[in-house]
């Protein structure tokens, strides 16, 4: 059962993006530092107030290296690698740490220059010594698209989802991106465009796959007492959940089910909400079919029903479940690990700050991060406007 941390309300009091797209004039550390200054200003706080630091992919000992750059000596720190879902995990862990009195102001930060540095991995890492690796590494499966393509193919075979259903996810994301001046690509996109884009790893085509960009963000999580002085409206963390299943795809028990089934269940139970209560959904859209799986695993529709669900335009602007409202990893930004930007966008929607892409009367939002190979990890965060 999920832990109920209701005795100590926790809030996101500040958020900020780093520079996005292609960043040639900053380092990853300076990108986080500038975003931290902006996010902390929103929270009515400064670096001197930060006593907990969370990061991923920022060095071999990430929190130590980022902390040194920022001049921090935190009482509580974590740099666990949960892939792109790390930042939703970190919100959950910061929530628990604040409730336990281990810290008061947690800064979650991340930045990547993977596009500028051209350092994205293209193949699976060398045989890692585990028994499981022998079943995939020698065959040259590409990292990570090969793993996700296996999932997509299985899902389409088992439940009858079509290429048009996958393409609808990309089209919905692009329609939101068209409303976001910070999105990397904003040109009109049709289902036919997606289906005629080059095949990369059957059945995934180029426009079924996320961008490769620079970017990142900062999120400030704090107690109700410290959030009272925020310069902008603090957003309450109603619930959070997390889970992970496997690393090697050969050990995945079901390629059509993600650990989001468990993380979503726990997050919704802690928050005391149902899928029908959610006004805005920010899923980790690294691949189009992934969003279909998340919709089912989090209970927005039944198993095998997501294709028909999205075909009605529900995820698009004006739809019944506005999703990927920044443009997502498919059209807005994907800096190697998108999860932190899902939280940033959810907070802005709940504050009413999303301008042309604002979802009317948004009160409850979900940020759902995933990571690893073919859905190794998942974490779900439910946020609400008080």
Catalytic positions, written as ranges: 284, 332
**Separation CA 212–CA 230 (nearest Å):** 34
Q: How far apart are CA 239 and CA 103, in angstroms?
A: 19
Cross-sheet strand order for the sheet of 105-112: 76-78, 52-55, 105-112, 215-223, 10-17, 235-244, 377-384, 364-371, 280-283
Half-sphere exposure of 28 (CA within 13 A, CB side): 23
Pairwise CA distance, residues 346 & 336, whole Å? 19
Burial class (CB in 10 A: 0-12, 13-18, 19+), 175: buried
DSSP conformation letters of 226-240: HHTT-SS--EEEEEE
Q: Is 344 exposed, middle or buried (0-12, 13-18, 19+ CB in 10 A)?
A: buried
Is the separation of the CB atoms in 146 and 201 below 8 Å? Answer: yes
């Amino acid at each position: 059962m999920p832990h109920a941390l209701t005795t100590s309300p926790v809030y996101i009091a500040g958020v900020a993006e780093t520079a996005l797209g292609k960043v040639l004039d900053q380092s990853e550390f300076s990108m986080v530092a500038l975003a931290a200054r902006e996010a902390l200003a929103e929270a009515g706080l400064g670096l001197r107030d930060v006593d907990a630091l969370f990061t991923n992919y920022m060095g071999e000992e990430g929190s130590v290296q980022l902390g040194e750059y920022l001049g921090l000596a935190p009482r509580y720190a974590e740099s666990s690698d949960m892939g792109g879902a790390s930042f939703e995990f970190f919100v959950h862990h910061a929530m628990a740490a604040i409730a336990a009195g281990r810290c008061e102001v947690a800064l979650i930060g991340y930045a990547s220059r993977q596009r500028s540095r051209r350092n994205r991995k293209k193949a699976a890492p060398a045989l890692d010594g585990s028994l499981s690796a022998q079943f995939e590494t020698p065959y040259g499966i590409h990292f990570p698209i090969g793993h996700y393509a296996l999932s997509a193919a299985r899902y389409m075979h088992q439940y009858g989802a079509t290429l048009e259903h996958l393409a609808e996810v990309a089209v919905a994301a692009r329609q939101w991106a068209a409303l976001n001046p910070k999105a990397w690509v904003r040109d009109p996109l049709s289902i036919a465009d997606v289906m005629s884009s080059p095949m990369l790893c059957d059945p995934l085509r180029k426009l079924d796959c996320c961008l490769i960009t620079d970017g990142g963000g900062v999120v400030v999580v704090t107690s109700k007492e410290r959030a009272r002085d925020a310069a902008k409206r603090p957003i309450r963390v109603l619930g959070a959940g997390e889970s992970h299943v496997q690393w090697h795809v050969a050990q995945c028990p079901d390629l059509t089910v993600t650990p989001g089934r468990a993380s979503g269940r726990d997050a919704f139970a802690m928050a005391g909400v149902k899928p029908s209560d959610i006004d805005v959904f920010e899923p980790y859209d690294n691949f189009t079919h992934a969003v279909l799986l998340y919709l089912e695993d989090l209970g927005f529709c039944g198993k095998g029903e997501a294709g028909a669900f999205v075909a009605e335009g529900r995820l698009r602007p004006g739809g019944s479940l506005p999703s990927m409202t920044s443009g997502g990893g498919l059209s807005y930004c994907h800096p190697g690990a998108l999860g932190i930007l899902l939280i940033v966008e959810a907070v802005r929607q709940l504050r009413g700050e999303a301008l042309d892409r604002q979802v009317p009367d948004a009160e409850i939002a979900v940020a759902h991060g995933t990571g690893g190979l073919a859905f190794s990890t998942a974490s779900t965060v439910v946020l609400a406007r008080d």
